[in-house]
Amino acid sequence: MRILLTGSNGFLGKYIFSYLNQEFDLYTLSRTHSSINCDLSVLQPTLPIVDIVIHSAGMAHILPKNKNEENAFFKVNVNGTQNLLSALDLAALKPRFFIFISSVAVYGLNSGENINENYPLLANDSYGKSKIETERLVNEWCIKNGIICTILRLPLLVGLNPKGNLGSMIQGIKKGYYFNIAGGNAKKSMVLASDIAKFILKAAEVGGTYNLTDGIHPTFNELSRSISLNLDKSFVPNMPLFIANVLAKIGNILGNAFPINSNKLSKITSSLTFDDSKARIAFGWNPTPVLDSFKLHEDA
């Protein structure tokens, strides 16, 4: 079985590479330090013949500061995928299976519970819209070429040395400036990156679109307590909602340089969870609860 993995140097890509590299003939594609060095957003690579493509490359979910950063989501996620598909069109043989790593951001929600795959794709931010457009590209290309397509919509990914919001949360707790707000009772879906790596090939032969979570959906309070234990911190302080509201109004005036605004506050204090029963029924998806094995470093 010959596999092409894009985004092999990314947070999830490293987990996928580590899990598959021992058993399969694995080609990696990334900007640097891979078997195929290529910036997909601007170049079309020359590809080997493979049986499976795992497309994990893409621009991560960040808050864009300007129009150029908004456009970068489409350049990296959409144009990059089009260049990959065009390169596969030129290969002597096309793959049998294509797996695309997408995001629950396609639903465009800040709150909600047990959202399943049938929910409409309503994202209106540049990241979510770029993922919707990329899903469409991949689906249409796979249908046209008779290739089994799998789309995995992922929530917050948890693992060693995480990036993004979780990485910021860890740093905030480590340095003592992170606060839970209103008790930190909002629930969020999350999943271990290592569990995703183990699941991919199970879904590949069947295809379809799946949400994947740990099924527990920890609260901010539970997650922050777990991080505190990893860091040998005694507790995480709590900020009353009325104080957070005042700070958020200040943030609305000062802009992105301020750590909180009304939009961020709404997200932090609202539960947002996703239903993964489709994968559980189809494949026996039974992931590890994030808080049962969460650690910050390899030796933790």
Tens-digit pLDDT string for the chain (300 aa): 899 999 999 999 999 999 999 899 999 999 999 999 999 999 999 999 999 999 999 988 666 566 777 788 899 999 999 999 999 999 889 999 999 999 999 999 999 999 999 999 999 999 999 999 999 999 999 999 999 999 999 999 999 888 878 888 898 899 888 899 999 999 999 999 999 999 999 999 999 999 999 999 999 999 999 999 888 887 889 999 999 999 999 999 988 778 788 988 888 899 999 999 999 999 999 999 999 887 766 544
Asked if residue 248 is part of any domain, the answer here is: no
Q: Which CATH number is 58's domain given?
A: 3.40.50.720
The angle that helices 80-90 and 126-145 make with each other, rounded to 10 degrees, is 10
Asked if residue 243 is part of any domain, the answer here is: no
Asked if residue 172 is part of any domain, the answer here is: no
In this prediction, residue 300 carries a pLDDT of 42
What separation, in Å, do the N-terminal and C-terminal C-alpha atoms of the chain show?
Answer: 35
Asked if residue 88 is part of any domain, the answer here is: yes
Q: Which residues contact 103 (CB under 8 A, 6 or more apart)?
A: 61, 127, 128, 131, 153, 154, 155
Range of the domain at 152: 2-160+188-221+273-293
Neighbours of 164 (CB within 10 A): 13
Asked if residue 281 is part of any domain, the answer here is: yes
Nearest to 14, CA basis, from 232, 185, 161: 161
In this prediction, residue 177 carries a pLDDT of 86
Asked if residue 100 is part of any domain, the answer here is: yes
Q: Which residues contact 210 (CB under 8 A, 6 or more apart)?
A: 117, 150, 151, 152, 153, 203, 276, 278, 279, 282, 285
> What tokens appear for 277 in the block?
């029963």
Asked if residue 77 is part of any domain, the answer here is: yes
In this prediction, residue 164 carries a pLDDT of 79
> What tokens appear for 116 in the block?
């399943």
> What tokens appear for 97 in the block?
């299976």
- With contact defined as beta carbons under 8 Å apart, do 199 and 150 qualify? no
Note the pTM of the prediction, 2 decimals. 0.93
Task: Give the count of domains, the chain.
Answer: 1
Strand 36-37, strand 190-192: pairing: unpaired
> What tokens appear for 7 in the block?
């985004």
Rg of the chain over all Cα atoms, to the nearest angstrom: 20
- With contact defined as beta carbons under 8 Å apart, do 115 and 274 qualify? yes
- With contact defined as beta carbons under 8 Å apart, do 158 and 290 qualify? yes
Give the sign of the dihedral formed by CA 218, CA 221, CA 224, CA 228.
Answer: negative
Asked if residue 183 is part of any domain, the answer here is: no
